[in-house]
C-alpha cells in the first residue's frame, strides 16, 4: 500500500483509509462481527488510517469501542482518528464545541478506543457559538498534554480554517468529496497554501457509485438514503445512468467502478486520502487495490465527460447542508 503525507506536521498514512461510520450508523442494522473482520482485513492489506467519531456510537452500539477492539492487536501500526462537536439535546442533534466538552469527549474517546493517545482529533462540525480559536486552543492543550497527536477539521470553510490554523496547525480537513460531490474543490487553494491534507468521506457517493444502489424506500427504515436527494425519483435514474457509464469505462480497464472512483480521487492530488467504509472484507480488498490503479489523461477526460460537475441531487436535505465560513 502506498503512503501519503497529510499536512506538514508529520502525519503519514496509507493512500486508502477506512471510514467506520457505516458499521453502526446510517445504513441500517450493524453487524459487529463483519465490521471487525473488514477492519482487520484492511490492516492485512496495508490500510493504516481508521476513522470514527463520538457521534457514530449514539444509540446504535459504540463505534469507537468496536474500532478499538478490532485494532487492539496492531494498534501501534495504525493511525486512529475520531471527532468531537455534536451534542444530544431535547430538540435532537445539536452542536457543542465548548472547551469543557472537548476535554470530556476526548477522555471518553481515549477510554472507548482503549488507547493512551488519539492520533487525529477532528472538530466534527463548526460550532457557530464557540470561536474557532477557542476550539483550536483547546486541541493545542490536548496535544501538549500528549492526549492528541494531530488536529483536524471537518466541513469547515476558508475563514474558519485560517483562524484555526493560526492557533494550532491543522493537519487535515475532512469533507465529502467524490465523483458525485465536488463543492469542496473551491477550498483546495487554501489547503495547498497552508499545507493541509484532505480526507474525502463518502468517496463512493454513500455506496451509490458501487453500482448497488436501490431507489429510496427500498432500504431498511433506519437507512438515511431513503430521504437523501440523490436517491429520489428523477435524480436516482440519472445517477444510475452515470454509474453505468462509469462501469463501462472501468470494465475496459479491467477494474471495478468503485476502484475507478477511488483512483479518480487519488489522482486529484498527492495530499488526498479517501476513507471508504464497508462491512464486507471482500469489498475492503476491492477498495484497497484502488491504490494500485493508474488513470491516464484519457481516462480522466472520459470521467469528466460523464460527470463534469458531480452527481444529480444535493448531498443532504437542504437543512442539513453545512454552511462553510
Judge contact between 14 and 49, C-beta under 8 A: yes
> CA–CA separation, 173 vs 160, rounded Å?
11
Plot region of 14 (φ>0 → left; ψ -120 to 50 → alpha; else → beta): beta
- In order of 48, 271, 309, the CA distances from 43 in angstroms are 6, 21, 34
Backbone φ and ψ for 103, nearest 5 degrees, come out as -65, -40
Give kind and range of the element (H or E) at residue 282: helix 281-288
Joined grid coordinates for residue 152: 483536524
What radius of gyration do the chain's Cα atoms show? 19
CA-to-CA dists, residue 301 to 140, 149, 204, 265, angstroms: 43, 39, 19, 14
In residues, how long is the chain? 325
Residue ranges of the alpha helices (H) in 77-157?
99-113, 132-144
- Clarify whether 56 is annotated catalytic: yes
Place of cell 486552543: 137
**Is residue 113 left, alpha or beta, with left meaning phi > 0 and alpha meaning psi from -120 to 50?**
alpha
Q: Which of 18, 27, 56, 201 is catalytic?
A: 56
**Gap between the Cα atoms of 190 and 168, Å rounded:** 16
Question: What's the rounded Cα separation, in Å, for the pair 11 and 269?
Answer: 16
Catalytic residues: 56
Amino acid at each position: 500500500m502506498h503512503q501519503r503525507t497529510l499536512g506538514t506536521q508529520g502525519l503519514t498514512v496509507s493512500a486508502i483509509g477506512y471510514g467506520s461510520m457505516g458499521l453502526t450508523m446510517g445504513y441500517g442494522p450493524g453487524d459487529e462481527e463483519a465490521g471487525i473482520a473488514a477492519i482487520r482485513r484492511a490492516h492485512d492489506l496495508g490500510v493504516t488510517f481508521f476513522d470514527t467519531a463520538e457521534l457514530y456510537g449514539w444509540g446504535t452500539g459504540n463505534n469507537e469501542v468496536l474500532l478499538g477492539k478490532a485494532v487492539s492487536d496492531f494498534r501501534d501500526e495504525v493511525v486512529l482518528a475520531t471527532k468531537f462537536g455534536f451534542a444530544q439535546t431535547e430538540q435532537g442533534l445539536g452542536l457543542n464545541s465548548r472547551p469543557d466538552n472537548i476535554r470530556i469527549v476526548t477522555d471518553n474517546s481515549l477510554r472507548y478506543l482503549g488507547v493512551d493517545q488519539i492520533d487525529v482529533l477532528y472538530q466534527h462540525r463548526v460550532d457557530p457559538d464557540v470561536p474557532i480559536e477557542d476550539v483550536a486552543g483547546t486541541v493545542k492543550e490536548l496535544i501538549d498534554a500528549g492526549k492528541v497527536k494531530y488536529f483536524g477539521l471537518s466541513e469547515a470553510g476558508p475563514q474558519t480554517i485560517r483562524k484555526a490554523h493560526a492557533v494550532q496547525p491543522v493537519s487535515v480537513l475532512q469533507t465529502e468529496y467524490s465523483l458525485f460531490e465536488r463543492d469542496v474543490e473551491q477550498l483546495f487553494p487554501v489547503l495547498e497554501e497552508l499545507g493541509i491534507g484532505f480526507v474525502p468521506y463518502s468517496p463512493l457517493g454513500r455506496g451509490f457509485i458501487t453500482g448497488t444502489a436501490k431507489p429510496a424506500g427500498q432500504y431498511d427504515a433506519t437507512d438515511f438514503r431513503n430521504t437523501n436527494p440523490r436517491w429520489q425519483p428523477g435524480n436516482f435514474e440519472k445517477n444510475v445512468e452515470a454509474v453505468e457509464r462509469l462501469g463501462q469505462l472501468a470494465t475496459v480497464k479491467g477494474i471495478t467502478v468503485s476502484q475507478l472512483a477511488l483512483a479518480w480521487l487519488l489522482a486529484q492530488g498527492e495530499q488526498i486520502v479517501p476513507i471508504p467504509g464497508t462491512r464486507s472484507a471482500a469489498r475492503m480488498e476491492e477498495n484497497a487495490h484502488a491504490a494500485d490503479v493508474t488513470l491516464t489523461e484519457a481516462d480522466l477526460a472520459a470521467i469528466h465527460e460523464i460527470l463534469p460537475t458531480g452527481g444529480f441531487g444535493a448531498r443532504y436535505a437542504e437543512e442539513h447542508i453545512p454552511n462553510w465560513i
